[in-house]
Amino acid sequence: MTSDLVIGMAGAGGDGVISAGEALMSAAAREGYRAIMTKSYGPQIRGGESSFRLRLATRALFTAGGTLDFAVALNWNDFLRFGAELPVDGRTIVVYEEDSGVAPNALPLAGVTPAEAIAAPIERIARETAGTNKAKNTVVLGLLAEWLGLSRDALLAGLRKRLAGKSTDVLEGNERAFDAGVAFAAAHPLRADRRLESPQTTGAERMLVDGNEMCAAAAIVAGCEFFSGYPITPSSEIMHWLSREIWRYGGTVLQAEDEIAGMGAVVGASFAGRKAMTATSGPGMSLKTEMLGLATIAELPLVCVNVQRGGPSTGMPTKSEQSDLLQAVFSAHGDVVRPVIAPISVADTFRMTVEAFNIAEQYQTPVILLSDADIAQRKEIIDPIDTSAVTIVNRRIPNDRELEDYARFQITESGVSPISHPGMERGNYLASGIEHSEHGAPTASGELHARMNDKRIRKLAPLKARRDLFTVDGDREAPIGLVSWGSVAGVALEAADLARREGIKLKVLVPRLMYPVSEEVYEDFFASVRAGLVIEQSHQGQLYRLIRMFVDTPRGLESLARSGANPIAPAEVLDRVRRMVTTMQRGRAPEPEPMAG
């Protein structure tokens, strides 16, 4: 038996691959397991290949795992298109469609001989039991239920939920297909037992959600009253969810005609005194840049979510990447410093979305929330969130004394000045994209421009001291340090756990506050570090470059960076750490490796 299992499945559009993964997730949640499921699609608008990777375990998880324990290929061409996203090695059990005509000893897996290869008549079973090829995914569920020891009742409950609204004939046909899959697996037992151990806790209430849903729900909890945006993969689910739910809380959603208009509406809503948000991806961020500059000089709080995907241009819309960090930090004209924060998981997305609104309101600034496709669209089983423990921050409004001669952009000690809204008696002021005096009057004074720049940047200084926006895991005096962010942070945390089991002393720094750079936090972390890695999914190693712009990093700090759709595995990080240990034992720190790009 095993306590940790990774399943991957791929097929053509219409094969119901993603539905099968979601049914497995539902069953796992009912049984008390922990799970993470990522989805991947080809670039086609309609049709094309799709896949899922599902990790099931009896303990908390950081990543969707590395090499597959089970690989299910409904179609070999579709499966092979995913390459490194569905890695197979000598430990993998491969299940594939018998009608492909491929012999178990001649699988099209270059350089790999799996632990076991099973040709199953998946399509024939579907036709004979349900009368349709569309039940192939249900047959696969039956196979996995038997081989993994998953509850029939839990899986059928998820199946019935997925088929709700279908006819009785469709439901009964799928149940027959499921049972036939179970029977085939029972008649063809695996050479080695791969059944999952029972979870330590069962029956506990848990949530099955993805990152975009968490972001949208957190926005409502934070007090968001207005959302405007334009649909773009992989952020669209945020707008879809809010379109369904925000009206229950007195809010409004506007689907704008384009990304620019969506951003403009959010700026206007904030000026009107409403908490406001938009969501987009890399190409949309490019279009929103000018309006973000307006929000900066007008000191208007708002949240702009960027769910990163592969770039540049339209790039790879369905693949995750972390290549928009430098865009988020530096794509602004003028001397602009705007907060950029990033969640590391589905559950963390809730906290960081609330934090984004709080920071925006407290410092009267646009805040960029950098999610990525891996977090935003993956499903996780998480513990319920206690919303009663959430702290909500609202913008500072002027009091009666401040309204006597209201100076909207008053240069205060903190840099934050009280903000009114239209309709507030004596609170009228001029808000525009022109540099201005404390009262909002346009100015061309270089001296006043310098003072206003100082005000807008200085007010963010306390944010850099927020150590709660960083996680330090491990021995604080360790000589090896790992730094990682976003969805890849889980890879670093899992690799560190593996290293500690081997007796290696190391620590991990996970920043949620990406910008402004907190020099003190990084300097404290690097104080004991002789060698380390900055691990990220971008070709240039953007976080590595950003840190080195502001911090005197250890000589032995290296970049482990890779373009999107090429996952970094914990085992790969562990291998690099072992090499660092060997080098240190020889008496010197390793020379930094050349960076890609």
Question: How does pLDDT run along the chain (597 residues), one tens digit per residue?
Answer: 899 999 999 999 888 999 999 999 988 888 889 999 999 887 665 567 899 999 999 998 999 998 999 999 999 999 999 988 999 999 999 999 999 989 999 999 988 999 999 999 999 999 999 999 999 999 999 999 999 998 888 888 888 887 888 888 999 999 999 999 999 999 999 999 999 998 876 666 789 999 999 999 999 999 999 999 999 999 999 999 999 999 999 999 999 999 999 999 999 999 999 999 999 999 999 999 999 999 999 999 999 999 999 999 999 998 999 999 999 999 999 999 999 999 999 999 999 999 999 999 999 999 999 999 999 999 999 999 999 999 999 999 999 999 999 999 999 999 999 999 999 999 999 998 999 999 999 999 999 999 999 999 999 999 999 999 999 999 999 999 999 999 999 999 999 999 999 999 999 999 999 999 999 999 999 999 999 999 999 999 999 999 999 999 999 999 999 999 889 999 999 999 999 999 998 875 556 666 654
Please spell the DSSP secondary structure of 126-192, one letter per residue. Answer: HHHHHSSGGGHHHHHHHHHHHHHT--HHHHHHHHHHHTTTS-HHHHHHHHHHHHHHHHHHHHS--SS
Distance of alpha carbon 197 from alpha carbon 57, whole angstroms: 8
- CB–CB of 292/263 below 8 Å? yes
How far the first Cα of the chain sits from its last, in Å, is 44
- The answer regarding whether domain 466-585 maps to CATH 3.40.50.920 reads yes
Q: For residue 201, give Cα distances in angstroms to 22, 57, 101, 241, 411.
A: 21, 12, 44, 31, 56
Give Cβ neighbours of residue 445 (< 8 Å, ≥ 6 apart): none
Helix (H) or strand (E) holding 367: strand 366-372
Quote the pLDDT of residue 127.
Answer: 95
Give Cβ neighbours of residue 541 (< 8 Å, ≥ 6 apart): 534, 559, 560, 561, 595, 596, 597
- Which region, left, alpha or beta, applies to residue 253 given φ > 0 means left and ψ of -120 to 50 means alpha? beta
Domain residue extents for the chain: 4-187, 208-389, 396-464, 466-585
Domains 4-187 and 466-585 share a fold: no
Q: Which fold has domain 208-389?
A: Rossmann fold (3.40.50)
CATH number of 4-187: 3.40.920.10
Tell me the pTM: 0.93
Q: What is the torsion angle, in degrees rounded to the nearest 10, for the CA atoms of residue 514, residue 269, residue 347 and residue 532?
A: -10
- CB–CB of 482/509 below 8 Å? yes
